[in-house]
Structure 1
Amino acid sequence: MFFALSGWLITSLLLEEVAKDGSANLGAFYIRRVTRIAPMYYVTMVLYIILSLAQLIVKKDGENWHQMLNALPWIATFNSEYRTVGAGDIFGHAWTLGVEEKFYVIWPIIFVVFRAKTVSAFILSCAVAFFLTYLAGFDPGPIRGYLGLGFGAALAILAAQRHAVISLLRRPVVAVVSVVCIAGFHAASIVHPATAWHVLTSFSTAFLVACLWYCDSSWVARGLSWAPMAFVGRLTFGIYLLHVLVMNVLLKGGMAKFGQSLDWPIAFIVVYGASIPVAYAFYRVVERPCINFGRRLALTRFARAEGAGSPG
C-alpha cells in the first residue's frame, strides 16, 4: 500500500509544481525528501547498533552484533534489498526504503527530462526498474515494490492527462470498491501467500489514494479523516521503522524472560499499541523538527534561486 501511495503522491506533487511554476525544483524536492526520511532512518539504525552491542556485552550473545556489522554497509546506503545472506535479517524491513529511495532519486529526473514524452518516460522507467530488480536477483520484494510505485505514478499521470479519469475517481463508489479489494487481496495473501496478492493490493491502493485525493465526500475519506486515524497516520513512518524493535523488547525480551507468550492477535495489538507512544516521542524529538527544517531550507533555496534569476 505504501508503494502505491508514494508513487501517486510524489508524481502528483511534481505535476502540481510544474502546472503552477512551469517546472519542478529538483533541488528543493531532494532536500525535503532527505530531511523527511534520512534522520529517522539513521536514528533507527543507530538504535539497532546500540541494542545489538548491548546484547553482546550483557548477554554475551554476538549473533545480532555480527549480523549488524555485515549488514551495515547495505543498510547505511539504503541498499538493504541487495544484502547478502551472510548479512542476516536484522533491520530486514529496511529493504522497502531501499526501493523507495531509488524511486525518489531516479523518477523525478526522468519526469523532468521526459515530462512531454510520456511513452519515453514509461519505457525508460521500466528499463531502470528491470535493471534494479535484476541486481536484486528478481526478488519478489523489489518486484512488487517497483510495480506498486509504478501503479501510483502511472495513475497520477493518467489523471493529469485525462479529465474522464478524474471524473471516475471522484465517484465515492470507487473508493469503496478499492477498500473491499484491498481487504480481499490482503486476506488472500495471509491464507495463500503469493507475490501476486501484494501486487493486486498495490494496484487497488493506487485507486483508493487517487479517490481520496479528488473526493473527500465518501465514507472512506471521512473515516480516514477521523482525528485518531489522522494522529496515527502522522506517526506511521516512525511506527514502521521502530515496531520490530518494540516487538523484540516486549515479546522476545520482557515476556519471554518470564516464560510468557501471546497469541498473534493479542501480540499484534500489544506491539502496535506500544509502538504508537514510542513513535510519537521520536516524531516530536526527531521527525517533525527535521521535516520543518527541510521545508524551511527548501523554501530558502528556492527563494535564492528566484532572486538570483531576477534582474533586480
Structure 2
Amino acid sequence: MEMSAAVPSTTTVRPEIQALRAIAVAAVVLHHGWPAVAPAGYIGVDVFFVVSGYLITALLLREVDRTGRISLGSFYRRRARRILPAAMVVLLAVSAATLAFAPYRDWAAYFREIVASAFYVENWRLAVDSQQPAFADLESTPVQHFWSLSVEEQFYLLWPLLIIAALWLVHRRGAPLRRTLAIVLGAVTAVSFAWSLLLTVDDHNLAYFSTFARGWEFGVGGLLALLAAAIPRLTADRWHAGRSVVSWAGLAMIVVPIVTFDDTEAFPGLWVLLPVAGTLAIIWAGAPGTRWSTARAAGLRPVQWVGDVSYSLYLWHWPIFMFTPMITGVPSPPALMVVLVGLSLVVAALSKRFVEDPFRRRGGAVGSHPRVLAGALAVALAGVLTMGSVAPGIAADELVCQGQGRSPRD
C-alpha cells in the first residue's frame, strides 16, 4: 500500500493554512461586529471547513501509510483533546452569564441551544427551528455560532469511517488504494454538493445548517490532500509565477465575496464555490517547498498569531459581543466594538494558553492521562445540563411572579 507520495505532511506549521485560519476568523468577527463592512463574513466558516477537510484527511492518510489502518480510538481522542475542553469552558461560561445577565424570558431559548451545542447538534437544532413559525426568525443566542462546530464534529465522526470502508474494499478486492479512496470520497463529495444545490433552491436555511449539504466542503479539502502527489508533478520550478497568480486569485475569491455578497437566500448554492475554490487554491499554491508572492504577508507574526488562536477566538468573541449590551444596558456602539474585539483576542489567547494547549499536549498531568480529559469533560457537561434543566423552570416562576406584581421570593 503506497501512499507516502500522496500525503502532505501535517507535522509542521503551514504558514498559508495559519493565514487562512486568520482570514476566516477575521471575516466572522467582522461580520458579527460590523455587518455592513463584511455582509458575508459568514463565508469564513466555509474556509474553515475546507481547511479541516484537508488537514484531517492528510492526517488519516498518513496513518494509513504508516500502519495500513486507522485507529478510531486514537483519532477520536486527539479530536477530543483539540476541540472539547475549550468548547465546554465556553458553554459553562455562557450558562453562568445567562443566569447572571440575560432576561428571564430568554433563559429557555438560550439553554435549549446550549444543551444542543454541548452534544454538537446545534446545527440540527437551528435547522429544525427554521421550520417552525415560533422560532423561524432564528433570533441570536450566545451559542448560535456552535452550529459550524457541530457540523465539523459530525464530519470527524463520519469521515474516518468512509476511509475505513475504502480500505476494506482495497483488502477485499485488491483494488489500488489511491484510486479506491478517490472514488469513495469523490462520490460522497459529489452527492453532497448536488444535495446542497438542490436544497438551497428549496430551503436555504436547511442547506446552510445541514451536515449533508455542507459535507462536500470538507470533502474537496480531503480530495486535495489525497491528490497532493499528482498536482505538484504538473508544475515545475518554472511555474512559481503561476502559483503566485493562483494564490492571489484564491485570496480574491475569498475576500471579495465577504465584503460584497448580500443575497443570503442564494447561499450556499453555487456562490459558496468562490471561497471553497479560493481556499483550495491557496493551500495548493502554498504547498511546502514552493515560493509564492503572498508568503511574506501570510508569514507575518500577527497573521500567524491570529491563526494560532483562531479556534478560541471563534468560540469566545460572539458570547462577549452578545452579553456586553446586557451588562451595560445599551447597544454596543462601533467604538466599543473595537474594544470588544481586543477583549476577545485577550480571552482567546488565555484560552489557548491555559485550556487548549494543556489538554492538547500529551505531556504533563493533563495531556498524558485520558481519564483527566474524560473527567473534566464529564463535569463540564454535567454542569451545563444541570443549569439547562433547572434554569428554564426558575425563569418561568420568575416571570409568573412578575406578572402577578409580587417578588418571586414572597
Any idea what SS the aligned residue of 1:213 has?
A: coil
In structure 2, do the counterparts of structure 1 residues 34 and 260 end up closer, same or farther at CA, with 3 Å as the change threshold? closer
| 1:281 shift after superposition | 1.2
CA distance in 1, matches of 2:109, 2:327: 19
In structure 2, do the counterparts of structure 1 residues 74 and 182 end up closer, same or farther at CA, with 3 Å as the change threshold? same
Q: Which residue of structure 2 lines up, in the alignment, with residue 109 of structure 1? A: 161
Contact 1:5-1:152 at 8 Å conserved across structures:
yes
In structure 2, do the counterparts of structure 1 residues 242 and 217 end up closer, same or farther at CA, with 3 Å as the change threshold? same
Contact 1:185-1:198 at 8 Å conserved across structures:
no
1:234 lines up with 2:308 in the alignment: yes
Any idea what SS the aligned residue of 1:120 has?
A: helix
> What code does the residue aligned with 1:238 have?
S
> What code does the residue aligned with 2:121 have?
N
In structure 2, do the counterparts of structure 1 residues 186 and 215 end up closer, same or farther at CA, with 3 Å as the change threshold? farther
> What code does the residue aligned with 1:120 have?
V
In structure 2, do the counterparts of structure 1 residues 249 and 4 end up closer, same or farther at CA, with 3 Å as the change threshold? same
| 1:144 shift after superposition | 6.3
CA distance in 2, matches of 1:80, 1:160: 37
In structure 2, do the counterparts of structure 1 residues 260 and 130 end up closer, same or farther at CA, with 3 Å as the change threshold? closer
Contact 2:123-2:150 at 8 Å conserved across structures:
yes
The equivalent position to 1:200 in structure 2, one of 264, 271, 274, is: 274
Higher helix share: 1
| 1:165 shift after superposition | 5.2
CA distance in 2, matches of 1:215, 1:181: 24
Percent sequence identity is: 25
| 1:235 shift after superposition | 0.7
Once the two structures are superposed, what CA deviation does each residue of 1:97-155 show, in whole Å capped at 9, x if it has no partner? 11101111111121133152121333345557888998x97332436632321221122
The equivalent position to 2:93 in structure 1, one of 40, 47, 63, is: 47
> What code does the residue aligned with 2:355 have?
V
1:139 lines up with 2:207 in the alignment: yes
Matches within 5 A, 1:181-200: 181-190=253-262, 192-193=263-264, 194-195=266-267, 196-200=270-274
Contact 1:107-1:125 at 8 Å conserved across structures:
no
Contact 1:44-1:241 at 8 Å conserved across structures:
yes
| 1:228 shift after superposition | 1.9
CA distance in 2, matches of 1:104, 1:16: 16
CA distance in 2, matches of 1:125, 1:296: 36
The equivalent position to 2:299 in structure 1, one of 218, 225, 231, is: 225
| 1:64 shift after superposition | 2.8
> What code does the residue aligned with 2:277 have?
F
Any idea what SS the aligned residue of 2:294 has?
A: helix
CA distance in 2, matches of 1:184, 1:157: 29
CA distance in 1, matches of 2:189, 2:271: 23
The equivalent position to 2:185 in structure 1, one of 118, 121, 124, is: 121
Contact 2:250-2:277 at 8 Å conserved across structures:
no
Max radius of gyration: which structure? 2
Q: Which residue of structure 1 lines up, in the alignment, with residue 348 of structure 2? A: 279
CA distance in 2, matches of 1:235, 1:282: 8
Q: Which shows bigger deviation, 268-277 or 95-104?
A: 268-277
The equivalent position to 2:317 in structure 1, one of 243, 262, 266, is: 243
CA distance in 2, matches of 1:156, 1:165: 16
In structure 2, do the counterparts of structure 1 residues 33 and 252 end up closer, same or farther at CA, with 3 Å as the change threshold? same
With normalisation by structure 1, the TM-score equals 0.79
In structure 2, do the counterparts of structure 1 residues 12 and 172 end up closer, same or farther at CA, with 3 Å as the change threshold? farther
Query: How many residues are paired up?
Result: 288
CA distance in 2, matches of 1:166, 1:157: 17
> What code does the residue aligned with 1:177 have?
A
> How large is the RMSD of aligned CA atoms in angstroms?
3.2
* Structure 1: tracts of 5 or more residues without a match: 299-312
Any idea what SS the aligned residue of 2:261 has?
A: helix
1:100 lines up with 2:152 in the alignment: yes
CA distance in 2, matches of 1:50, 1:153: 38
Matches within 5 A, 1:1-312: 1-55=47-101, 61-83=103-125, 84-85=128-129, 86=135, 89-90=140-141, 91-115=143-167, 116=177, 117=180, 118-124=182-188, 138-142=206-210, 145-164=214-233, 171-190=243-262, 192-193=263-264, 194-195=266-267, 196-215=270-289, 217-254=291-328, 257=329, 259=330, 261-263=332-334, 266=335, 269-293=338-362, 296=368
Q: Which shows bigger deviation, 89-98 or 206-215?
A: 206-215
Contact 1:189-1:198 at 8 Å conserved across structures:
no
Any idea what SS the aligned residue of 1:177 has?
A: helix
| 1:213 shift after superposition | 3.0
CA distance in 2, matches of 1:222, 1:295: 34
